[in-house]
Each structure stands twice: as structure tokens, then as C-alpha cells.
Amino acid sequence: MSGSAADGVPASPLSYLDRPNSYIGRSVARPNARRLLAGQGQYVGDIVLARMLHVAFYRSPHAHARIGRIDVAAAAASREVVWVVTGADILGICKPWVGVLGHLKGMKSAPQPALALDRVFAQGEPIVAVVARSQAAAEDAVQKIAVDFEALPPLTEPEAALAEGAPVLHPELGDNLAFERRIEVGAVDAAFAAAAAVVEDTFDFARQTGVTLEPRGIVADYRAADGRLTLYQSSQAPHMMRALMARQFGLPESDIRVVAPDIGGSFGIKIHCYPDEMATVALAILLKRPVKFVADRLESFVSDIHARGHRVRGRMAVDAEGRILAFVADALTGVGPYSAYPRTSAVEANQVINLIGGPYVFPAYRARARVAFQNKVVMSQYRAVGHPIACTVTEALIDRAAAALGLDPAEMRRRNLIKDDAYPVTSAVGLKFEGLSHHRALAKMLEMMDYEALRAEQAALRARGIHRGIGLASFIEITNPSPAFYGAGGAPIAAQDGCAIRLDPEGGLTLQASVGEQGQGTETVLAQIAASVFDVPLARVRVVTGDTDTTPQGGDNWASRAAGIAGEATLQATKALKANVLEIAGALLQMPPARLDIRDGKVVEAASGAARFDLAEIARMVYFRTDALPEGVKPELMATRHYVPRGYPFAFTNGVQASYLEVDTATGAVTLLKHWVVEDCGTVINPLLVAEQLRGGIVQGIGGALYEECVYDEQGQMQNANMADYLVPMAAEMPDIEIGHVAGTPTAESELGAKGTGEAGVAAAPAAVLNAVNDALRPFAARVTAQPMTPECILRALGKLPSRRGAAGPAFG
């Protein structure tokens, strides 16, 4: 089947669908709609007023295939089924989209449809949508769909996709190279020629996915009477989604509302546009009824974006004193058949080569990043985009160089970390650092973990045949991103955030912010800022987020930006509101506002602390007795402020992590004994939230280091797409995690001085664990360069299993 109705269902007489956007406000004639909806609602003209519908998707079982005949007769026969839809049925109102950014020069991608048309390019790609009265009915009907496929050879590995003569997935693109970027700084060849030591390795990072507690879900409700589209969505980016839906469906943004209440985790999984969600919106518009889609856990594995999935060859040159002379990096990744929309699938590879060597001084750098199309699930941004890969490559090479020169790993870092008094600094790759504290962080770490005693313990145990390892990893983290990140590339993703705050009649504060809550404590942090400025109990601050109709325009949640950007907007808005309140109180008291203050929820005389008004009295006077206000007083008890960083593209945080573990050389099992992190994230607003963000991130990073992998076979079939076989870190396996801080280097970009911390734990945990494993294996001249570091991988490194890429041991010389 191609471009025609599926067998068993008459073509929907939506002739206007080939005229994009002409469907708005019109009725939809659906096959057998009156019969199927009998008893489920009533007609007002041609508009159905009925309860919610549910959609489920028939997904491709093949990684690459041509679609033949689609038989949906059995599925459509059920009285519970409202409509069975193929790609051709919605193509007129939901055109394919292209995930590219203008500032990623040379990037390309094929248009991606909501439902596959002639070919499928990955296992799990949606082909047919079944709309029914219940989720169960929709899922049952999906099982009755029969599709004829002509299987095509899949391209599963990026090397094969880029090989000369490889079949091109999208012929109109010319080849399978989605994006390539090169960096050349300084005299790289001369640096390697003059080096006292050169170390190199090839590092493999497995694909991972987010496995959020709450899967993706959306309810789309289009009301033709007023032309309003409302989405209730588990999304961390409601303002972005509103803009994308306006573009996609030809609606004014003002006619779209996106509600994203507290969501059960995201980690970047829920900042992308997914085909099944686009199809759900299209169906709601066509049917003029609310349509609900919630991904189940099994389909999440083959429909949620994947990430990591890199192979990086890294080299480093050092002089006889251990000073770094140059880095060389060649990064290759396969990102699936399309680039994700709108943030693309090239940012992670771009970040990897930007961040390699980040904490260190080095004069020369050569790097290449290549992004290839392949027949696997689409890859894109996931928590700490690129950081764990870049950090692992860097820190593993640092440890290898230390070993080559006979230096302690901590001393190797001391000699090369950017000095704490050197800022501002521009790195070899062009990253601008306002102020960091690498040396203070390292000193704090060595003290906190009692490094010398731990080394002594390690040596004593090694003499008894117990093999423990200590791993260090210094890191930087990108936070508070500016418009240079996405806005400059043409994506409707804001770098600024806004806060509107008002004093309510009862004397409480209502704060409306453009960032949302996904479990990281954003609402608590914003409430703390407002309560601190106003000196009111935290319980008197109500925070409203996640609704584009009621919150200011802003950038939403991504890249560790909530505290630093939305927090500053909140600070400035609250200060402005406080000034308004004091001006009104001063007019009432015939006193200069400068002589007044707000303490413990009351307006007081600043000098004596004598209470003059309760905040509720001021509010009631403004709202209900404006006639009693003195002439010229503006009765304004609401203030709105926006903030965007301007001086630096990012506010970098920094720190160091350490891992202490034991390797059983008979089984390859790794036991995590202790993990430490020291971080400098600028102004710390809520120490407990910072600590738990770090701990959560470390656990997630350990997952990638030891357990998590999307395992594919040669046919592009994911072999462990379930919670029984896809291993995530569990509490019983995690070590105690000790948190330390150094005196902060707050960003001078804002008055608050806050930076982010949401991704720091993930950024360096894999590197610290890998270095600790290799430290434990050092007596055997073995090392591991692949993640996850499974027992099998470690046994291969020890020469106890046949060797393959990612494990280097005695067999390699």
C-alpha cells in the first residue's frame, strides 16, 4: 500500500486534506462514524460532543522494510473502534518535519512523517493508528492488523553506513552522513612529534535510554467552536511544544495551550517531538474529540529517543613533566534514520568534541565528529548531553599518561588543571570560562576521601589478592545556556525565562514561572527565592508552572537552567513587587519607602522593626479600597520580570568525582564501595536539593558505566526492550555517595549568582568508575575502554574470554 486507503476501510472523504491547514474549523466525515459512536455522544451539526478517545499504534517489526499491503479490516470491524488511520490519511494536515538547526553547518535530514508512508526505517516506527473508545480496545485492534513487508538490508553500524558504496537510506540526501564538524587549533603534529609520551585508546559507549518512571503521554483536545487546541502532555518543554504545534498545524500560538503538570521524570527524553504524539494531535483535530496516547513500557524502549552510542578514538601528547601538549579526538555516532525535531541528533557529537579536555590547559587540538544515519531508534539529547563521553575520554587518557610517566593520577591533574586564579579563560576549542575552582575542588576531594590512606589500603589488599581501584575524574558542566545554543539555529526554544508574582488579598504570594517541575525541585527553589526576598514563610508562596496560558513565555526545563535563569527572573520580579508594596505603604504612612521593610510577613519600620501593616492589610486596601489610597499611588501588586544571560554563552560549573570499588577477577563482577563528588555550582540555594540532584545523577551515570545498554542484533532488532533485560541501577548495588562543596564561584552575570547542577553527577561518574576499574586491573596489564563494563567485558580484558573491541589486555601486548 502506498498513498491509498488501507484494505478493509473506505478512503476517508477528506478531500480537503491535500490543501494544508484548510481543515481548521471544518467538520470531518468519518467512515461509519455515526454507527461507531452510537450511544457515545450526540451531534451538534457535524461536531461530536463525546468522551475521550484513545489511540494505539501498529509499529514496525522491521528495522528496514518496504511497506506493502495493509489489511485493517479486522481491526476496523470492532464496534469499539472509531477510526483506523494510515500515514496517507493524515498527511494533508500533518506534513513531515525536518530536524536541522541552521548553525550546525552542513547538517541534513530527511523529512520525517508522523506515520510511515512507503518505507520503515527503524523497529518501532509507527505505521497505523487505531482510535477507539478505550485503550484496551485500541490495543486489541492493533493486534488484528496485517501488514505485508518487503524486508530490506538494514544499516546498523555507523561505519557501515559511511562506507564507500553503502546503500543510502534517503537517496535524496546523497549519502548517510547527517553532520560532520572538524576542529583544528594549534600545532598538533608538532606537539605529538615533540612529546615525551603519547597515549591513545578507542572508547565505545553503548546506546542508553531514559527509562523514566512515567512514560510519555499526551491528551490532545481540539475544540472547533473556538479553534482552540489544548494539549495535556508529559513534557518538560510546554512553550516549545506550543510553538512547534503552531508551525505544524497552521494555528496561531495564541490558540494553543500546553499543560505540562508535574511529570514523572524526563532526563531529556521529553523535550523532543515524537511521531506518535504528532499523530495524536492530528487525530484530535480531525475527530474534534479529545484523543489520548500513553506509551507503554515495552514500546517506550523502541520509540523514546536513545543516546550516547559513540565510538571515540582519543590521543594525547604530554611532555616529560606531564604537561598536556595536545589532544586528538575522532568521534563517530549513529543516530537512527532521522534527526530528532527540533533539537536535532547532532548536538551530542558536537558537544563531545567541544568538551574533550575541558578542565585542562593544552595548546593544540584536532577533532572530528561524524553523525551517520542508520536503521535504529532515533538518538538525541539525554541528560548531560555529550559530557559523560567527553569526560571519560579525557580522564582515561589522563590516567594512562600518568601511568606512562610514573606520576600519581592526582598529581597529573594538579599539573594540568586550569589555575583557579587564571580566569576569565578561553579554552583551545573556544569555550569561555568565567570562573571555576578545579584546584580547590581537587584538594577538597583528596582530603574528603583521605586519598593517601586509601592508596595504602589498596596496596595492602592487593598484596592479599584483593583488587580494588581508585578512580578520579575532573569535570565541567554546561549550565544557563544562552540563545547561542538553539535560538541561533532557528528553533523556537527560548534562552530567557520569566516570572510573574503577585500579592494576593490574604497576604500570600502567587508566583507564575516559565520553567516546570519534573522532580528536580524547581518549584521549591523558586518559592525559596521569593520567600527570602519578602521574608514570609515558605508556605505562603504558591508556585504555578507548566501551563502556557498562565505562565510567562520562557525556555522551559533543559540544560540545568532553572535555578540560574528562572531563579534570577524570580529574584528580580519579587524585588520589584516588594518595592511596589513598600511604596504603597510609604504613601499610606507618609514615610519614605526607604525607611520601611518587610519582615515576617509585615511591613515594618526598618530602623526599629515596629510593625505598621500586615501584608494582607496592604493587599485588601489595594484590591478593595483604592478610594482610600493617597493621590498618585499606583495600586499595582503584581510584577513580571524576564532574564537571559548575555555576557557568556554558558555558565560552567566544575568539580571532581572519585570512585572506590573492588573487581572480582574470577567473575568480572564489580562491587562499588564508595563514591565522592565535590562541586562548585555558584550560589547554592537549597543544599539538600543540590546534594540529591548530584546523587541521582551519579546513580544514572553509574547505570551507563556498568549496566545500561540497548542491545541490537545485526538485523536492527533491539534484544532487551523490556525491564527484565534492560538493566538499570538498583539501590542495593549503589555505594554510599558523599557530597562536598567548595566556596562557590557565582556567576557575575546575575545578581543571584546561581549556576545549574542537574547534570554534574552524570557527567563524571562513568569516567571515575572506568578509571577505578582500570586501576584495579593494573597488576594484570589489562584495561577496559567500553561501557557498560559488564563482567563479560572485564573478563575479556583479563584474557579469560576471547577479546573484542572495548577490552584491552595481555592478548593485545
**Tens-place pLDDT, residues 334-381:** 999 999 999 999 999 999 999 999 999 999 999 999 999 999 999 999
CB atoms within 10 A of CB 175: 16
For the chain, the first-to-last Cα distance in angstroms comes to: 56
For the beta carbon of residue 540, count every other beta carbon within 10 angstroms: 18
CA atoms within 13 A on the CB side of 75: 31
> Does residue 39 come out as left (phi exceeding 0), alpha (psi in the -120 to 50 range) or beta?
left
Can you say how many angstroms the Cα of residue 18 is from the centroid of all Cα atoms in its chain? 36
Distance from C-alpha of 635 to C-alpha of 662, rounded to nearest angstrom: 67
CB 126 within 8 A of CB 59: yes
Cα separation values, 99 from 172, 297, 434, Å: 16, 26, 32
Burial tier of 465 (Cβ tally within 10 Å: 0-12, 13-18, 19+): exposed
Please tell me the distance from the alpha carbon of residue 451 to that of residue 431, in angstroms, as a whole number: 31
Which positions of the chain have pLDDT values less than 50? 1-5, 9-49, 809-813
Residue 509 has, within 13 A of its CA and on its CB side, a CA count of 32
- Tell me phi and psi for residue 530, to 5 degrees: -65, -45
pLDDT value at residue 562: 92
Q: For the residues of 139-154, what is the DSSP string, one character each?
A: HHHHTT-EEEEEE---
Question: Distance (Å, rounded) from C-alpha 230 to C-alpha 69?
Answer: 35
Percent helix / strand / coil, the chain, rounded to 5: 30, 25, 40
Cell readout for 391 is 569526560
**SS3 letters for 535-558?**
CCCHHHEEEECCECCCCCCCCCCC
3-state secondary structure 559-581: CCCHHHHHHHHHHHHHHHHHHHH
**Contact (Cβ atoms closer than 8 angstroms) between residue 131 and residue 81:** yes
Amino acid letter for position 224: A
Sequence length of the chain is: 813
277 and 233 Cβ atoms separated by less than 8 Å: yes
Domains detected in the chain: 44-152+211-301 (3.90.1170.50), 306-483+647-797 (3.30.365.10), 496-643 (3.30.365.10)
Identify the pLDDT of residue 634: 85
Read off the pLDDT of residues 519-554 as tens digits, 9 standing for 90 and up: 889 999 999 999 999 999 999 999 999 999 999 999
d(CA 43, CA 293): 24
Q: pLDDT value at position 7?
A: 62
Element (H, E) at 286: helix 275-287
Reply yes or no: is the peptide bond before residue 424 cis, omega within 30 of 0.
yes
C-alpha to C-alpha distances, 227 to 93, 493, 563, 609, nearest whole angstrom: 15, 24, 36, 55
Confirm if 465 and 601 have CB atoms less than 8 A apart: no
Q: In angstroms, rounded to a whole number, what is the distance separating the alpha carbons of residues 74 and 45?
A: 30
Strands 126-132 and 81-86: antiparallel
What is the side-by-side order of every strand in the sheet holding 611-614? Answer: 596-599, 602-605, 611-614
Cβ–Cβ < 8 Å for 567, 752: yes
Phi and psi dihedrals of 541, rounded to 5?
-110, 120
User: What pLDDT sits at residue 28?
Assistant: 35
216 Cβ neighbours under 8 A, 6+ residues apart: 234, 269, 270, 274, 277, 294, 295, 300, 303, 304
3-state SS of 612-674 is EEEHHHHHHHHHHCHHHCCCCCCCCCEEEEEECCCCCCCEEEEEEEEEEEEECCCCCCEEEEE
The DSSP letter of residue 590 is: T
Task: Number of helices (H) and strands (E) in the chain: give both, helices first.
Answer: 20, 33
Q: Are 104 and 350 in contact (CB under 8 A)?
A: yes
Report the largest interatomic distance among the alpha carbons of the chain, rounded to a whole angstrom.
90
Cα dihedral sign, 241-243-248-253 = positive
798 grid coordinates: 583479563
Model pTM? 0.92
Asked if 126 contacts 116 with a C-beta cutoff of 8 angstroms, the reply is yes
* Paired strand residues for 317: 198, 326
Distance in angstroms (rounded) separating the CA atoms of residues 622 and 48: 46
| Cα within 13 Å of Cα(70), Cβ side | 30
Q: Which residue has the cell 506550543?
A: 242
Instruction: Tell me which residue has cell 532574564.
Output: 643
Answer yes or no: are the C-beta atoms of 122 and 376 closer than 8 Å.
yes
Look up residue 760 and give its three cell numbers: 554534574
What is the DSSP pairing of strand 119-120 with strand 509-513?
unpaired
